[in-house]
Amino acid sequence: MSNELVEFERAVQTQLARVMVGADSVVRALVVALIARGHVLIQGPPGLGKTLLAKCFAKVMGGDFERIQGTADLMPSDIIGVHVYDEARAQFEFRRGPLFAAVLLVDEINRAGPKTQSALLEAMEERQVSTEREVWPLPDDFLVIATQNPHEYEGTYPLPESQLDRFMLRLDLTYPQAAVEQQILLRYGADLGGATQVPADLVVIDRDVVAAVRTQAEQIHVAVSLIGYVLELVRASREHPRIELGLSTRGALAMVRAARVLAGLRGADFATADDIKQAARWAMPHRLRLSPQASIEGDTDTALVESILSSTPVPR
């Protein structure tokens, strides 16, 4: 098979590596989400460059970028937009909000109230916005990158299951290794401006290339036995004694779609069980709701996913 997918990821990694250090796996996940038309939830401590990563990714994709800071007083109209009366034309005019960007970063999404969080539901699933009996389409490559800090509880509103299920992948960021952090300090420590800027000369990927790699990803073969493997993982999550809410059908589709893209990024024309496993580590944890006993005893969603993966037989 043609290596268009491999070349596409290499081009994106090369450009983002000019700014980001040690972010190869995160960039790969963003590439997977873009090709598979999914959204990404990034979970981790503040100060790890999530905003810079989203800005650079939007720049390389050639789309406009908007950032929303989640706060308790953030209203749906702050995201969607408002109708303003135009006296010259004697009619109301809709002024679009940041939701209409190609790449939208919702920083600290769990600090926004439930009403504001729900304003994203239609946009993330149907790629459109309904307001005042009008429907407004969103950009074809609309991508939501949301961040949250799982260690903060004061003034936060946990995302409901319906919201979490609309994120194709969840990435768990941790502090960088010492060698990587040393490179960051050596590269940016002399910048007394305090803010790392997005290079103006980042190479923009042609939109036709994105369409081509999506077409190639759709042609990657997923065997019936692998579909059965996904269904076994789904069943195991739903029947697990320490899980109250297992994987949804949307989550199973996310695993299959992500596995197709991961196979293509390896240069293969068929997916393997390893592709399914990697996709599961990104697509499953945030969709599981643990039982109260599991939470009290310190179980985590990622640990339970690893347990399910290790106990579910892999098809030959």
65-75, pLDDT tens digit by residue?
Answer: 888 998 888 99
191-219 in b/e form (b: 16+ CB < 10 A) is: eeeeebeeeeebeebeeeebeebbebbee
220-316 has which fold? Answer: Helicase, Ruva Protein; domain 3 (1.10.8)
* Structure tokens that stand for 111 in this block: 């600090």
Q: Which residue has the higher pLDDT, 1 or 7?
A: 7
Average pLDDT over residues 275-286: 96
In this prediction, residue 219 carries a pLDDT of 94
> 239: pLDDT confidence band, cut at 50, 70 and 90?
very high
In this prediction, residue 72 carries a pLDDT of 87
240 φ/ψ angles, rounded to the nearest 5 degrees? -65, 130
At the top level of CATH, the class of 1-186+205-219 is alpha beta
Evaluate the CA torsion angle 264, 29, 246, 308 in order and state its sign.
positive
> 151: pLDDT confidence band, cut at 50, 70 and 90?
low
The one-letter code for the residue type at 203 is: V
Which of 13-22, 171-180, 197-206 is predicted least confidently?
Answer: 197-206
> Can you say how many angstroms the Cα of residue 233 is from the centroid of all Cα atoms in its chain?
21
87-134, pLDDT tens digit by residue?
Answer: 888 788 888 899 999 889 898 898 888 888 888 888 998 899 888 778
**How many CB atoms are located within 10 Å of the residue 277 CB?**
20
pTM for the model stands at 0.90
The answer to whether the CB of 213 falls within 8 A of the CB of 141 is no
> 2: pLDDT confidence band, cut at 50, 70 and 90?
low
**In the chain, where does the domain assigned CATH 3.40.50.300 lie?**
1-186+205-219
Mean pLDDT of all residues belonging to the chain: 89
124-142, pLDDT tens digit by residue?
Answer: 988 998 887 788 899 888 8
For the cut 80, the answer to whether the pLDDT of residue 1 exceeds it is no
